Amino acid sequence: MLKMAGRRPILLALIIMATVTIGLLLSGWLTPAPGRAQPGQPDPTPGVENTNCIATTNAWSGTCPAIITNSSVSPSTIYDPWKTAPTMPTNIVAPVYSPTNIFTQLVTYDSTNCDTVTNTENVTYSVSGVTWTNFSSPYTNFPSVVTDSFSAQAYVIVTSSDTNLCPSPGIVYLSDNISSASAAQTQAASDSSFIVWEPYGIIHRCVNSSPSKSPGVWRTDVGVGEKVNLSIKNLPANTSVQWDCGGVGSIDTPSQPTCVWTAPDSTGSPPGYYNLLNSSTELTKACTIKATFSINGEVETPSVAFTVYRPTKINMKFVYPEHTVNTCTIGMKTDVYLAPANVNFSAVTTREEAVDPIYGFPIYITGEGCYAGQNPHGTSVEVSLSTQVDDDLGTKASVSPTDEAYFQTPVGGLAVGTGDARGDIPNDWKCNSSAWNDNYCTSVETATSTAVQGQSGAYQLDVRKCGADYSCFSSDPTKP
């Protein structure tokens, strides 16, 4: 008992030391310290004691996205009907890039106690929608309708998900020639990536340049017998064309790419007959000209509609006066025009019918039908028309002056009193060698006098015909 009692302090000390040791172990004081990474460097593997992990390698490696589907646009030439909306290419393919493009970054250290770190990133390209640019004149964007040939270029904008690893290619023009990422980045605008729009349609151009008032030679209103040159805009070479005018007029070469259409000689039925009772529907005649041909296996049938006009009215323009001093004789020479003025009647011949003298009081109209001022009245003279068209009066006769309106007193000298005279004179026309269209309009010729019986003096005299007029006094000098 005494021996054990002497050892108790020692045993107690051992128990206390063991308890402290176990506590320290459980608290982690004796656990080895982990390695500490250097600033800016990844932590070493936990549990590896290292206080000097300095990175010696920190680089990315990999390949930028490559094209796996080439871009394309076709067809390279598009034929559209004239004055229609442009047709888009049937094949528009934007480039497609590889979706998986892993870049790797290895981080190594100079200490064997630090594990290598591997970073990865997948770089991708995003492709925008297709944009068209570089439009050739006169367009800066797609026109609403195609009236001229033009070209444009298609492109997309390609953007990188990480421009530090792979710069964005930017603008990439759609072309079959792109085959690699580097090519895509440097693809320049080239003829191979341009698409050309070629409008086709019937080009119609009147042979006569007059009337020059818009639309001029491009008009679709024509006179009887007028000629119009026809062709197809942007027709591919060696393309056969068949023309058809539906029997209204004639086409000289109906199976050639170009031809001349001649408007019919008449707008009425039966041809060659008119009178003042004709219905207004016979004043014009419609004609649709159609061309048939094939482009790229597609049958095309463009057409153009014309309206054929016949003469409806006589207009005259004053040229110079006629008068004998101290008499009631008065007259004028005029130029003759056939209306309407929106067409050309150069294929037409006209005449004023011969009539007996028309008596009035105190003056009378001498026999009419001159239509060539130098010819005797009472003789019907045919006059062809020129190619010149006055924008207001119509197609001018080829002879100038053309007509004479002339009044005189029965026996000369002063008239026996105040009065007037009027004549309604029928006019005829024909086109080329067709029959005459009789009495299609009337030229009204009038004259007035203020002369007083038995008195001399300055009396007012007037003459008018088809829009032309002249006035003078009986005492005026003789003219011309």
317 and 458 assigned to the same domain: yes
301 and 324 assigned to the same domain: no
286 falls within a domain: yes
Spatial contact of 239 and 293, defined as CB atoms under 8 Å apart: yes
326 and 419 assigned to the same domain: yes
Q: Does residue 401 have a cis peptide bond before it, meaning omega lies within 30 degrees of 0?
A: yes
16 falls within a domain: no
294 and 243 assigned to the same domain: yes
User: Could you say which of 198, 217, 250 is where a domain stops?
Assistant: 198
* Percentage of the chain lying above the pLDDT 90 cut: 38
Per-residue model confidence (pLDDT) at position 14: 62
20 falls within a domain: no
Per-residue model confidence (pLDDT) at position 244: 97
9 falls within a domain: no
pLDDT above 90: residue 180: no
287 and 372 assigned to the same domain: no
Show the beta-strand stretches assigned E in 188-271.
194-200, 202-206, 221-223, 227-232, 242-244, 250-251, 259-262
Helix (H), strand (E) counts: the chain: 2, 34
DSSP label at residue 351 = E
Per-residue model confidence (pLDDT) at position 59: 80
Per-residue model confidence (pLDDT) at position 138: 77
* C-alpha distances in Å from residue 23, one per residue of 14, 62, 166, 455: 14, 53, 57, 160
183 and 63 assigned to the same domain: yes
Show the beta-strand stretches assigned E in 167-312.
170-173, 194-200, 202-206, 221-223, 227-232, 242-244, 250-251, 259-262, 284-295, 298-300, 303-309
194 and 207 assigned to the same domain: no
Element (H, E) at 147: none
322 and 254 assigned to the same domain: no
288 and 422 assigned to the same domain: no
Per-residue model confidence (pLDDT) at position 454: 56
Cα separation of 304 and 83, whole Å?
12
**420 vs 404, which has greater pLDDT?**
404
**CATH classification at residue 218:** 2.60.40.10
User: Could you say which of 253, 274, 309 is where a domain stops?
Assistant: 309
Q: What is the mean pLDDT of residues 61-83?
A: 88
Show the beta-strand stretches assigned E in 340-479.
348-352, 358-359, 364-365, 383-390, 394-397, 403-408, 419-431, 437-449, 460-465, 468-473
The total number of structural domains that make up the chain: 3
pLDDT digits (tens, 9 = 90+) for 1-25: 434 445 555 655 666 666 655 554 4
**51 vs 381, which has greater pLDDT?**
381
Residues 6+ apart with CB under 8 A from 279: none
Per-residue model confidence (pLDDT) at position 374: 33
27 falls within a domain: no
* Residue 431: domain span: 313-473
Cα separation of 80 and 427, whole Å?
48
152 and 107 assigned to the same domain: yes
234 and 129 assigned to the same domain: no
Angle at 325 between CA 324 and CA 327, to 5 degrees: 75
pLDDT above 80: residue 171: yes
pLDDT digits (tens, 9 = 90+) for 409-440: 654 444 444 567 777 888 889 999 888 888 88
Spatial contact of 124 and 101, defined as CB atoms under 8 Å apart: yes
**43 vs 315, which has greater pLDDT?**
315
- Residue 430: half-sphere exposure toward Cβ, Cα within 13 Å: 11
What is the β-pairing status of strands 460-465 and 468-473?
Answer: antiparallel
110 and 219 assigned to the same domain: no
Q: Cα dihedral sign for 136, 139, 140, 141? A: negative
pLDDT above 80: residue 188: no
